[in-house]
Amino acid sequence: MSFTMHGVGVSSGIAIGHAHLVSHALLEVAHYEVPEHLVDAEVKRFSEAVGAVRADLETIRRQLPPNAPAELGSFVGTHLMILADKSLAEAPVKIIRDERCNAEWALKQQMNSLVEQFDRIEDEYLRERKFDVVQVVERVIKVLLGHPSQVAFEKQESGMILVAHDLSPADAIQFKQHQFAAFITDVGGVTSHTAILARSLNIPSIVALHRARDLICDGEVIIVDGNQGVVIVNPDKNTLTEYRLRQEQWEIDQQKLKRLKLTKAVTLDGMAIELHANIEIPEDVAQSKAAGATGIGLYRTEFLFMNRRDWPDEDEQFEAYRKVAETMKGLPVTIRTLDLGADKSANPDEERNCTNPALGLRAIRLCLAEPHIFHAQLRAILRASHYGNVKLMIPMLSTIAELRQARQLIERAKRSLRDQGVPFNEHILIGGMIEVPAAALRAEAFARELDFLSIGTNDLIQYTLAIDRTDDTVSHLYDPFNPAVLLLIEMSIRAADKAGKPISVCGEMAGDTRFTRLLLGFGLRQFSMHPTHVLAVKHEVLQSSLSQLQPVVKKILASTDSERIEPLLDKLNQ
């Protein structure tokens, strides 16, 4: 049966493929009683699942390349040891027999007991080993539930469309190494970090579908229209033909944009505009250069900290930052210091104690609270500055006191490098992000103390409108057209211009062509966006005349509600 679902399109394009349901196995475990005469068979089913996971892990260990980091082999070895331990290999069997329950339930109960024991350990390193236990149990439960193993998953064909209840940014970053056609989720907002990563993957993606994970079956043919936020399940022949034609036209349009790669971004009246790219990992630089970006305006370093059991040390960070700096060959590379917190956690299994993480210990607050982590990252960024045109940017500033405290720690890191004779750029530029209304209102004061500013529109909108941008239940209230938001952006650009300091926009508005001319009219001369949006924004720049924008821009700034702003913006973009 064919049916259609509507959600929020977060990455444009059209994909046609087969559904692959992503399991969060621990959430799917149900409890049921096993008849006494089938208990032995249930024990056998459990033992076979453990054996299958052991075989998978052994295969992964054998297939590790010779130059793979030693930590990978150690990681697999640790999981094999946990799997062989009596507490997981034998204790669930006793629970199955004593309680006559299904194997999944018995294993999960034993896991909960072990996690409680780990939580009582005072030593932090040992306490965090509970996450290894959870990961091993998740593997076994996936086998028991009949989901593909990770080994099988990695070998599956391209063209799959991932269907999940939710995907953490940590999940999404792993997908960069696979060839998926699209992904769709039940929950999420248009500017959640998972949505942002979807755009960086350059694949059609839709969130906030609510029941896609329940209604779609593995292997069903589905169409994902990221332009309209529509998912069509089991389309009929005519619909399939129509969407294949749309898909071809979309790809033709994208090929036409590629002709602009070597064209300089200059307005009709001769104003040069800088178009930079946002990246998450060093490998994204290739895509940025292919799009013709003239720099990296935002390197989100927190993704180096994800999907791992420990923090990356200084040397590992340095190598990643240096690789980007050297690959860009003298073009600017703006490295943002760690911005963990809110919907980005280093370990996705870790529980959050904060009721509202977006307002909690995140970004610069976290770095100032953990100076040893911040010190290692600052040293790594400073060391990388010797190998290219590196700038350092501090996220989520809200007070001048925070900025000054951060600058003191930067100076401390510089002194430690000088004492050791380690080379770095003594005059590295230090910038800050305008993401909090308090910072936007005091943008001129921040501009006086910094070398450059960058507006993070995603969080600025979230904090200005009190809307959790990861919550699909209020996503309809997330409004970049809101006059208060536009006023704060224009005010920040004007303040930086008055102080004679450069300012960019690195949030999602920078890559949204609906806002290109408006931001130009505000006085913005540097945009930073996902590489996939660079050519489309350049196309808008090339067709814009700054002098002709001003009358409409003034009317937009004078408007008091979004409903009046949207038609004016349409007029501006005609």
Enzyme catalytic residues = 193, 506
The first and second tokens of residue 21, run together, are 């349901």
Distance, in Å, from the CA atom of 372 to the CA atom of 4, rounded to the nearest integer, reads 51
Burial class (CB in 10 A: 0-12, 13-18, 19+), 216: buried
User: In terms of DSSP bridges, do strands 14-21 and 333-336 run parallel, antiparallel, or are they unpaired?
Assistant: unpaired
User: In terms of DSSP bridges, do strands 3-6 and 230-233 run parallel, antiparallel, or are they unpaired?
Assistant: antiparallel
Contact predicate 240/215, CB 8 Å? no
Q: Which residue has the tokens 């400073």?
A: 382
Q: Can you spell out the DSSP letters for 486-533?
A: HHHHHHHHHHHHHTT--EEE-SGGGG-TTSHHHHHHHT--EEEE-GGG
User: What is the chain's length?
Assistant: 574
Nearest alpha carbon to residue 178 among 140, 152, 216: 152
Instruction: Determine which helix (DSSP H) or strand (DSSP E) holds 299, and give its type and residue range.
Output: strand 296-300
Q: Which residue has the tokens 């960019």?
A: 504
At residue 77, φ and ψ (nearest 5 deg) are -60, -40
The first and second tokens of residue 143, run together, are 């086998």
Return the sign of the alpha-carbon dihedral for residues 24, 26, 31, 36. Answer: positive
Contact predicate 394/433, CB 8 Å? yes
Distance, in Å, from the CA atom of 395 to the CA atom of 307, rounded to the nearest integer, reads 22
Can you list the alpha helix ranges (DSSP code H) found in 159-225? 169-174, 193-201, 212-215
C-alpha of 296 from chain center: 16
Contacts of residue 472, Cβ cutoff 8 Å, sequence gap at least 6: 8, 187, 188, 189, 207, 208, 210
Contact predicate 479/562, CB 8 Å? yes
| Rg of the chain (C-alpha set) | 25
The first and second tokens of residue 484, run together, are 């208060």
Nearest alpha carbon to residue 53 among 87, 86, 106, 89: 89
Distance, in Å, from the CA atom of 540 to the CA atom of 275, rounded to the nearest integer, reads 12
SS3 state of residue 402:
helix
Distance, in Å, from the CA atom of 6 to the CA atom of 207, rounded to the nearest integer, reads 9
SS3 state of residue 103:
helix
The first and second tokens of residue 65, run together, are 């390349």
